[in-house]
Amino acid sequence: MSEFLTVLRGRWKILVTCGVLSVLAAVVFTAVTPPVYTAQARVYLSAEKDTKAEGEGVFVLTSEDLDTYVSLLDTPAVLDPLREELGMSPDAPVDVRATVSGNTSILNIVARSDDADEAAAVANEVGPQLGGVAGKFSTLLASSGQEVVSTPIQPAVVPSSPTSPDPVRNVGLGLLAGLLLGVGLAYLRHALDTKVRDEADIRALSDAPMLAGLPLEKTRSGMGYLSLDSDPHGRHAEATRRLRTNLMFVDVTTGKHSVVVTSAVEGEGKTTTAANLGLAMADAGTRTLLVDADLRNPSVAQTMGLEGSVGLTTVLLGEAEVTDVVQQWGDTQLYVLPAGQIPPNPSELLGSDPMRDLLSHLSRDYDFVLIDSPPILPVIDAIVVERLAGGLLMVVGVNRTRKSELAIALKQLSTVGATVSGFARNFVPSNPTDNRYGYHRYEAPVETRRRSTKKGRDRARR
C-alpha cells in the first residue's frame, strides 16, 4: 500500500490530468447526445364476445398468446397502424418494448422517443393496436367470435425530464474512468521510467542511508556553484550542512576520517558536492583537505578557481612535497590538493604504494579528507581509492541518473566488497515546503551581499 501511495504521489499530475479530461469528455458527450424521454403504461388484455359474431364459446388468453402479442410489437403489423393513428411519418422510428407481469394478462409497456409527448402517446396507443391485430394471429380467437380488448390500468404521462443522457451519472462515470486510467498510466509510467526520481528509487537498490537532498541551483559560468561561499544562508548551503552533519555520524563508525566522493556516471555534480561539503566542514572548525583524485578529468581546481598545474600527481612522482602543492581556500580551514598533470596510467597510480602512504600521512595531518574520484561505471579508479579511504559517498543526480546505471555501479562496488556509506541526492527539484524553518533564506543587505561575493572571488584568485 505504501508503494502504491508513493507512486500516486509522485505521478499526481497524471491522475489530475486524466480526471479532468475524462470529466470534460463526459460533459461534452452529455451536451451533444440527443435527449431520450421514457414513458410507461400498464394495460390489461382480455378476450370479450363480439356482439355481432356468432358462437357461444369463451376464449381465455394464455401466456403463449401474450408472448405472441409481445413479439409483435416491433413488426409492421403493429407499428404501421400505430404510426397512422398518431399521425407519424411512415418511416418514423418507434422504440417500444413490453413485458408480461407475472402470470397475469397485464402488459408493462415502455416507449422511448426524443419527444416527450410522442413517447407518452406511443405507450398509450400500443395496447389498442395490439388488440386490433390479435385476431389475425389466433385462429381459435377468431373462430369463437371474440376480440382482444385493452383496458388501461396505468396510462402513460408525458415525462417532464429526459432519462438519457444523465449528467450526474455521466460525469461520475467519467471521473471514475479518468481516475482508473490515471492510475494505470501512473503505474505504466513508473514501470517504464528509467531515471532516479526520489529516495524510493534508491532504497530499492541499496540499504545505505540517505544523508541529504541537495536542491537544484543554477551554476555560474566557469565555476561550480559554491553555495557555502556565495549564498551561505540559502537552501543549498543549508542542505550541504545537513550532509556534513549526517556524514560525520557515519564517519564515527569507521574512525578513518576520510571519504571518497563519487557517482555512477559523469554529470551528477559530485565535484561541486565535494567542494561545498569541504567548505561546510571547514566552517564547522574541521581542518579539511579536499583531494582531486580524478586524474582523468580533474575539475576541483577549476570549480574553486585555483591553480591546478601541480598537485597529486606531482607528489606521487616525487617531484614536490605535499605541503608545497596544497592550497588553502582563503583564510578558512579548507585546504585543496589539485590533481596536477593528467598521467597515462591513473588507475595504477591511485592504487600504488606511494598513494597509500600519502593518504595515510594526510589522514594524520588533517581532521578530515575528502577525495573527489571519477565516476564508477566508466573506470575503476573510485573502487581503487575506496580501499584506501574510510568510506564512500555516492552522489546521485535526481532526474538524471538512470536506475540501471546506479544498479550496475552498486553491483560493482558489492563485487569487490566496497560499502556505500550513504547517498546524497543532487539536483532535487524545489518543493513548496522548502521555505519552512530550516530552509528559509535570510537575505542580507545588498551591500553585504556584494562584499560577500567580492570576497569569494578574491579567495578564488589566491
| pLDDT score, position 52 | 55
How many Cα atoms sit within 13 Å of 418 on the Cβ side? Answer: 28
| pLDDT score, position 442 | 37
Residues 278 and 266: beta-carbon distance below 8 Å: no
| pLDDT score, position 390 | 83
| pLDDT score, position 328 | 95
| pLDDT score, position 400 | 92
Q: What is the pLDDT along the chain (462 residues), one digit of tens a residue?
A: 666 787 787 788 899 999 999 999 999 999 999 999 999 999 998 887 665 555 555 567 778 888 888 888 889 999 999 999 999 999 999 999 999 988 888 999 999 999 999 999 999 999 999 888 877 777 667 666 678 888 999 999 999 999 999 999 999 999 999 999 999 998 888 778 889 988 988 998 999 999 999 998 765 544 468 999 889 999 999 999 999 999 999 887 666 789 999 999 999 999 999 999 999 999 999 999 999 999 999 999 999 999 999 999 999 999 999 999 999 999 999 999 999 999 999 999 999 999 999 999 999 999 999 999 999 999 999 999 998 998 999 999 999 999 999 999 999 999 999 999 999 999 998 765 444 444 433 333 333 333 343 444 444 444
Please report, rounded to a whole number, the percentage of residues in the chain having pLDDT higher than 70. 86
- The CATH architecture to which 37-154 belongs is 2-Layer Sandwich (3.30)
Domain ranges of the chain: 2-33+165-192, 37-154, 199-461
| pLDDT score, position 119 | 94
| pLDDT score, position 455 | 43
Q: If you count them, how many residues does the chain have? A: 462
Amino acid residing at 120: A
* Cα dihedral 12, 17, 20, 23 sign: negative
Task: State the helix-helix crossing angle for 167-192 and 2-10, rounded to 10 degrees.
Answer: 100
Beta bridge partners of 165: none
In the CATH hierarchy, which fold is given to the domain comprising 199-461? Rossmann fold (3.40.50)
